[in-house]
Amino acid sequence: MAKIMVIGAGVVGGATGNGFAHHGHDVTFVDVNQQILKTWRDQDFNAIHPDDVDLNAADFVFVSVTALTGEHGIDLTHLLTATRNLGEKLAAVTDSRPVIVYRCTMPPGTMRKIIAPLLEESSGRKAGVDFGIVYNPEFLRAETAAEDFLAPRAIALASFDEQNEAFRTTQNLMRSFKAPIYWLTLEQAELLKYVNNVGNAVKITFFNFMRLVAAKLEIDTEIVFRLSTLTAEGLWNPTYGTRNQGAFGGVCLPKDTEALRYFAQELGVDVALLTAVQAINEAIQKER
């Protein structure tokens, strides 16, 4: 049984801690929100304020603090505050070597260039020597986060190198979830979160665009979309479009994209999505 602290006890942190408790581990939630703490205490969990954290009693610390988006992009304020506070707690550790596992979405390079140095600076300790660092991107849906954590399709763990002790220790912790575990570089794992989330956003936007076109023509899209998931290779083949084969070409894709863009524009539908698709494709063609 591992002793696990979860910093940030909202949707992601809550699912994380609850999932580990389900597997028999000793979980403590940490949050600044007293109402959130009360919610977990009412469920018989130990839940404390960050001021009361003692890392001498922790094997793992999972950080699930939200990084918000501000007017200039991602706002790391809350994450950096939590990291600095965590580093100060690490400075007081005398008889353990905790592994710090981040689950927050952050731009590639943040863990290596910002988080790890900040932990070392604020603790006076050395990453990889006095404590471990791992990045574990989460793949949870908001409405089913608890269920998703307990039944992952895959688990991604990132560290400074594949032989890293912190990676191996976290890998052993995760084995009980019976999912394939992959090692990635820190930057690969950070990018993975954006590939997942923005990929979902683009797919939703495309089908919403097609609904707008269909609405102008009074076409019911239910059977159309259902059959497209069975017949369009980009929808039934999960690796289609992911291989590094350059811009799309051939007989159909370029001409039909242009035809639909012109047709939709004539209907009065905003074609910014298709214009962007064509512009990016042309830029990739020029690079090749």
| Co-location of 124 and 216 in the same domain | no
Question: Of 136, 154, 186, which one is at a domain's C-terminal end?
Answer: 186
| Co-location of 173 and 223 in the same domain | no
Confidence (pLDDT) at 162: 87
| Co-location of 54 and 180 in the same domain | yes
| Co-location of 181 and 209 in the same domain | no
Cβ 100 vs Cβ 63: under 8 Å: yes
77-128 per-position pLDDT tens digit: 999 999 999 999 999 998 888 999 999 999 999 999 999 999 999 999 999 8
| Co-location of 207 and 224 in the same domain | yes
Structural domain harbouring 283:
193-287
| Co-location of 167 and 204 in the same domain | no
CATH number, domain with residue 102: 3.40.50.720
Confidence (pLDDT) at 232: 96
Confidence (pLDDT) at 114: 96
User: Which secondary structure element, helix H or strand E, spans residue 147, and what is its range?
Assistant: helix 145-150
| Co-location of 144 and 224 in the same domain | no
Which residue, among 77, 79, 69, 86, has the nearest Cα to 130 in the 3D structure? 86
Q: What's at 141, amino acid-wise?
A: R
238-283 per-position pLDDT tens digit: 999 999 989 999 999 999 999 999 999 999 999 999 999 999 999 9
| Co-location of 130 and 210 in the same domain | no
| Co-location of 173 and 225 in the same domain | no
Average pLDDT value for residue range 183-194 = 97
| Co-location of 222 and 261 in the same domain | yes
**Considering the chain, what percentage of its residues have pLDDT values greater than 90?**
87
| Co-location of 248 and 158 in the same domain | no
CA angle 64-65-71, nearest 5°? 135
Count up the domains in the chain and report the number.
Answer: 2
Question: Of 186, 202, 230, which one is at a domain's C-terminal end?
Answer: 186
pLDDT band at 75 (very low <50, low <70, confident <90, very high): confident
Question: Of 141, 166, 186, which one is at a domain's C-terminal end?
Answer: 186
| Co-location of 268 and 221 in the same domain | yes
Q: How many CB atoms lie within 10 A of CB 202?
A: 12
Confidence (pLDDT) at 106: 93
Q: What's at 261, amino acid-wise?
A: R
Which pair of structure tokens corresponds to residue 287? 């690079």
Q: Does the pLDDT value for residue 70 go beyond 80? A: no
Overall residue count recorded for the chain in this entry: 288
pTM assigned to the model: 0.92
67 CB-contact burial (10 Å; exposed 0-12 / middle 13-18 / buried 19+): middle
